[in-house]
Amino acid sequence: MPLASSSASSAVPVDEARQLLKALAEPIRLQVIEALAGGERCVCDLTEDLGLAQSKLSFHLKVLKEAGLLADRQSGRWVYYSLRPESIERLRGWLAELAAHCMTSAQPCG
């Protein structure tokens, strides 16, 4: 039985969970998420801290933003990125539902 968020749940629908997990599956994107855990960062700082070319970093930022994990704002010539904690929380809710389903299911999960 596929998991889907109920009206009372904060979990994401299965398709959105897949998109979020796919975005997080790339090690560079996980590094970006970890770098942004401390708060909003400029692309220039992320480029330097992660040792990536701006074009490569921009691609990964785009994927994360399209997945709903990042917000951005422009200030002058720089773009600043920050995490969208509500998306992470919704993914956490979906994973919690999955774990609960596995624990109550007659068939073993895994």
pLDDT in tens, 60-101: 999 999 999 999 999 999 999 999 999 999 899 999 988 888
pLDDT in tens, 1-42: 455 544 345 667 888 889 999 999 999 999 999 999 999 999
Nearest-5° Cα angle at 10, 28 to 25: 15
What's the CATH code, domain 14-100? Answer: 1.10.10.10
Look up the pTM and report it.
0.80
Report DSSP letters for 43-85, one per residue. HHHHHHHHT--HHHHHHHHHHHHHTTSEEEEEETTEEEEEE-H
Measured over all CA atoms, what is the biggest interatomic distance in the chain, rounded to whole angstroms? Answer: 57
